[in-house]
Every structure is written in structure tokens, then in C-alpha cells.
Amino acid sequence: MLKSKNKLSFEGLEIVYGALAEGIDKAGEQNEALFLAKLVLLLAHEQGDTTVFQRCLETALTDMLG
């Protein structure tokens, strides 16, 4: 289970969820992966902690398709 001190509220999560969906659409299919990778680097830069980044990366790799 993912634990973190600065948790988003559910309302916050809903806002992020909608903004992410619209961001992907704005980037367009061709630039989708680039947009998401840039977004991750920016968030990691803002967040400033490599351990947290590593943990999120491992978590994101679980429960993948196939």
C-alpha cells in the first residue's frame, strides 16, 4: 500500500484526474507518451525526493496488463 505524508484529498484527486485526462487529449495521441514522461519528470523535480520517486516507479510497474 502506498503511504505518503502529503496526501491529496479526494476532491483534489478528482481535480487531478480530470486535468490529466484533458492534458492527454490536448497533447494528442502522437505526443501522449512524451507528455506523460515530461509530466513525471516535472513532478519529481517539484517533489525533490529520489526515494519517493523510486517507490512510485516500482508501484506504477505493478498490476500491468498481460
Partner 1 sequence: MRPAGKGSLESLYFNYPHFPPRLVSAQQEKAERHPVVIVGGGPIGLTAALSLAQYGVKSVLLEKKDTFNDGSRAICIARPSMHILERIGVVKPFLKKALGWQFGRSYFRNSEIFRLEMPHPPSEKFLPMYNLQQQYIESFLYDAVAANPLIDMRWQSDVTAINQSSDNVSLEVSSPLGNYKLDSDYILAADGARSPMRTKMGLRLRGENYEGQYVIADIRMNHDFPTERRAFFEPSGNPGGTVLIHKQPDNIWRVDYQLKPGESEEEALREENIRARVDAILRDLDHRGPWELEWWSVYSANTLCLDEYRHGRVIFIGDSAHIVPIFGVRGLNNGLADAHNIGWKLGFILTGEAGISLLDSYSPERRGATLDVFANAGKSTRFMTPPTRGWRLAREAALSLSLSHDFPRGLANPRQMQPYTYSVSPLTPYPHRDREFTTGPMCGAAAPNARMADGSFLLDHAGNGFTAILFVKDTPTAEWNKLHSKLNALHRRFKTVTIGIGTSEADTIYGADEGTVYLLRPDLHIAGRWTILKPNEIIHTLAVGLGRKLET
Footprint of partner 1 (CB under 8 A): 1-2, 7-8, 10, 13-14, 17-18, 20-26, 29, 32, 59-60, 62-64
- Please report how close the Cβ of residue 45 comes to partner 1 at its closest, in angstroms: 21
Of the pair 48, 66, the CB lying nearest partner 1 is at: 66
**CB 5, CB 51: distance < 8 Å:** no
Residues ≥6 apart with Cβ < 8 Å to 37? none
- Please report how close the Cβ of residue 46 comes to partner 1 at its closest, in angstroms: 19
